[in-house]
Amino acid sequence: MSGKLSAIALSAISVVLLGGTGIPVLAASGTGKPKRYDGKWSVEVITEMGTCDRAYRYGIVIENSQARYAGGNDFTVSGGVQPNGAVRAVISRGSDSARVVGRLSEGYGNGTWTTAGSSPCGGRWDAERRG
């Protein structure tokens, strides 16, 4: 379970970038302006509590303020990014999940993540825009 949860958390986070009603995702201001957080992001997830793997790096793609794991369909992301950069999301794979919160700016972001269950873990994530 610990390896899976770290991977999930990093995905976010890589993520780990989520907001509102989906997951790693970034939203823009309404009225036809480009989604300011859309693009490719690299997310590093670091475990600071629990037995999850120490660190991971993941690719995340944000399109129309919704995030997805760049490596395929391994993870499900629910949440999004608010127009002000606030991130709130849940990343899951099977029965494992991680809550991700934080904030994105024009090129960087950071926040925290936590898992629940029999082996809870938590830590921080840092993101960097890659395109």
9 or 81, higher pLDDT: 81
Between CA 15 and CA 39 the distance in angstroms is: 12
> What is the pLDDT, as a whole number, of residue 41?
92
Burial class of residue 57 (count of CB atoms within 10 Å of its CB; 0-12, 13-18, 19+): middle
Half-sphere exposure of 107 (CA within 13 A, CB side): 2
List, for residues 3-56, the tens digit of each pLDDT value: 555 555 544 444 334 333 333 333 333 444 457 898 999 999 999 999 988 998
> What is the pLDDT, as a whole number, of residue 49?
96
> What is the pLDDT, as a whole number, of residue 131?
77
Between CA 11 and CA 108 the distance in angstroms is: 16
> What is the pLDDT, as a whole number, of residue 106?
84
> What is the pLDDT, as a whole number, of residue 55?
93
Nearby residues of 107 by Cβ (< 8 Å), 6 or more positions away: 128, 129
Per the prediction, the chain carries an average pLDDT of 77
5: three-class secondary structure by DSSP: helix
> What is the pLDDT, as a whole number, of residue 20?
34
Structure pTM?
0.73
> What is the pLDDT, as a whole number, of residue 64?
80
